[in-house]
Each structure stands twice: as C-alpha cells, then as structure tokens.
C-alpha cells in the first residue's frame, strides 16, 4: 500500500508576492515540507525586506523583482528562476490587491488594476510556468481565491469579479492540463489577519471592535478571524503528492463561513 506523500523535498516553489502576509506563511510551510522557496516583489527595496524576513526564520529564499502583471517581466523571471534555482514545480498565485470602493464610485482604471493583479497575473504566470512543468512530467498550481469567489459584498465589485474569475481559471487550467499531470487547485481563505484586512479590524476610537470585525465573528462558526498559520496545512496538501488526484477544486479555509447563515443578532 503506497504511503501518503506530503514531502516537497527536491521541489522548487514560487509563491508570488510573498514578502509577507498569506504568501509568506505558505512559503514557510512549503519550506518546512522540503521545497526551495522563490518569491518576488515589485522593487529591490521590498525584495530586500522580504529576504531579510525569510532570513530571520532561517529560510534561504530566492527573491526576484517582478511585477506579476508584466508578462515580459514574468517570462524573464521564470527564465532566471529556472537557471538559478530550478524548474518551477509548484506555483502559488498569491499576489493580490483589493480596492474597497462603491461600484458606482469606482473608476474603470481602478477596476482594471484589480482585475490585472488578481486575475490577469495568475493567467500570465501560470502560462509562463506550464510548458516546463509539462516537460518535467507534471506540476502543481495553487491559486489563492477568496470568499469573494463565491459571495459578493458592498465595495468589492472588482475584487469579487477577479476572484470569481480566478476560481474558473483554476477549473480551466485543471481541465486543459490535467492530462500532463498538472493539478491546479485553489485555496479560498476566509477572513485572515493580514495587512490587507487590517482596516477591517481597526479598534474604534472608544476602544470597541470594528463593526466589520464583529460582523465577521458572527458569520464565522469558529468565532474568530483566521491566521496565516491556518493556511499552511492546506497549502502543503495541495502542493504535494497527497493531492495528485485533486484537480480543479477550491479548498475553502474559512472556519465554516460558507456553510453558516450567521449568528442570530
């Protein structure tokens, strides 16, 4: 009977935009499972800060300057990674932004920027890494989706459109490249304590919890925000041989939000 294989020893993992936040935690987990870690950020200062953060936790990460929306830059970065580190076995499309603006007040430029980073970039980066994965006999792509891959809410029209599209891009990559032993899945974090959600958790002037903070607690069966540590195990699972027959799936790591109508006020 084959043993379950969670090891990533000998694998190269590129987690995009992983200087901090969810991507950094996923990188820690994949490193702990044996993978060589590659990350990127948009300028040298931020890459240096990321390298320092990885060094502080004894991870010999490889950092590259790359704006994931720039296809030429992405292609050049993939070539550098393949030359300097190795063929990318595991891609985590983590880089992302959000703009919280009522739709009728949002400029088309702002809408396009969110779509560009959160949906076009995962297409660009996946397209760049798949050919070498095929040559190598397979690979893993993990797209960081969201509650907004399933649900809408006020002010996040661009983000929800992007993350809904990312869920379907995940399914399409799975459909188109599964025959090459490439598994493409999503992780859908719930509400996680990172810089991206800090504005939703700020204490009020009177020291009380932010109304949105209280709202999320009432909508989450676990009655807490997630932490980046909650994403580590699911990431190793989807990056490893343990998930070789899981394809096109979005694994929601949300404490039960999507299953729950919400606590009665």
Q: Which residues bind ligand GCO (CB under 6 A)?
A: 98, 100, 146-148, 153, 156, 159, 189-191, 196-197, 200
Most distant CA pair in the chain, distance: 60
φ and ψ at residue 73, rounded to 5 degrees: -65, -40
Report what 94 binds from ligand GCO, ligand NAP, none; CB cut-off 5-8 Å by kind: ligand NAP
Q: Which is nearer to ligand NAP, 99 or 180 (CB)?
A: 99
Among 144, 158, 236, 257, binds ligand NAP (CB under 6 A): 144
Point out which span in 18-26, 83-91, 174-182, 240-248 binds ligand NAP (CB under 6 A): 18-26
> Taking CB under 6 A as the rule, does residue 63 contact ligand NAP?
no
Q: Which is nearer to ligand NAP, 139 or 190 (CB)?
A: 190
> Taking CB under 6 A as the rule, does residue 191 contact ligand NAP?
yes
- Give me the 199-218 binding string for ligand NAP, x by CB under 6 A, dash otherwise: --------------------
> Taking CB under 6 A as the rule, does residue 120 contact ligand NAP?
no
Distance CA 56, CA 74 (A): 27
Count how many residues are written for the chain.
265
Distance CA 200, CA 98 (A): 12
Distance CA 242, CA 100 (A): 37
Point out which span in 3-11, 15-23, 76-84, 173-181 binds ligand NAP (CB under 6 A): 15-23
> Taking CB under 6 A as the rule, does residue 157 contact ligand NAP?
no
Q: Which is the catalytic residue, given 20, 54, 64, 159? A: 159
* 3-state helix, strand and coil shares in percent for the chain, rounded to the nearest 5: 50, 15, 35
Shortest Å distance, C-beta 94 to ligand GCO? 12
Q: How far is CA 232 from CA 29, 61, 237, in A?
A: 5, 17, 9
- Cα–Cα–Cα angle for 190, 265, 210, nearest 5°? 55
Q: Which is nearer to ligand NAP, 33 or 257 (CB)?
A: 257
Distance CA 145, CA 221 (A): 20
How many helices (DSSP H) and strands (DSSP E) are in the chain?
A: 8, 7
Q: DSSP of 35-80, one letter per residue? A: -EEEEEESSHHHHHHHHHHHHHTT---EEEE--TT-HHHHHHHHHH
Residue linked to tokens 């190793």: 236
Query: Does the annotation count 177 as an active-site position?
Result: no
Q: Quick one: tokens of 215?
A: 């709202």
Report what 156 binds from ligand GCO, ligand NAP, none; CB cut-off 5-8 Å by kind: ligand GCO
Query: Which residues would be at the binding site for ligand NAP (CB under 6 A)?
Result: 17, 19-23, 40-42, 46, 67-69, 94-97, 117, 144, 146, 189, 191-192, 194-197
Return the active site residues: 159
């Amino acid at each position: 009977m084959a043993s379950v294989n969670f090891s990533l020893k000998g694998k190269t993992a590129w987690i995009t935009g992983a200087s901090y936040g969810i991507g950094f935690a996923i990188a820690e987990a994949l490193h702990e499972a044996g993978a060589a870690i590659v990350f990127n950020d948009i300028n040298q200062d931020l890459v240096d800060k990321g390298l320092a953060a990885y060094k502080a936790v004894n991870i010999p990460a490889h950092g590259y300057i790359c704006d994931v929306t720039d296809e030429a830059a992405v292609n050049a970065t993939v070539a550098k990674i393949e030359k300097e580190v190795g063929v990318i076995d595991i891609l985590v499309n983590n880089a992302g932004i959000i703009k919280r603006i009522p739709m009728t007040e949002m400029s088309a430029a702002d809408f396009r920027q969110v779509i560009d980073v959160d949906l076009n970039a995962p297409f660009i980066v996946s397209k760049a890494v798949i050919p070498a994965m095929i040559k190598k006999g397979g690979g893993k792509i993990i797209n960081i989706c969201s509650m907004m891959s399933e649900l809408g809410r006020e002010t996040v029209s661009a983000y929800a459109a992007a993350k809904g599209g990312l869920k379907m891009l995940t399914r399409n990559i799975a459909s188109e490249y599964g025959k090459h032993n490439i598994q493409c899945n999503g992780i859908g974090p719930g509400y996680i304590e990172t810089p991206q959600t800090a504005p939703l958790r700020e204490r009020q002037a009177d020291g009380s919890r932010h109304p949105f903070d209280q709202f999320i607690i009432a909508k989450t069966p676990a009655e807490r925000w997630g932490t980046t540590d909650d994403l580590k195990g699911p990431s190793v699972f989807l990056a490893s041989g343990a998930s070789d027959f899981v394809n096109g799936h979005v694994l929601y790591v949300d404490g039960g939000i999507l299953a729950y109508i919400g606590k009665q006020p």
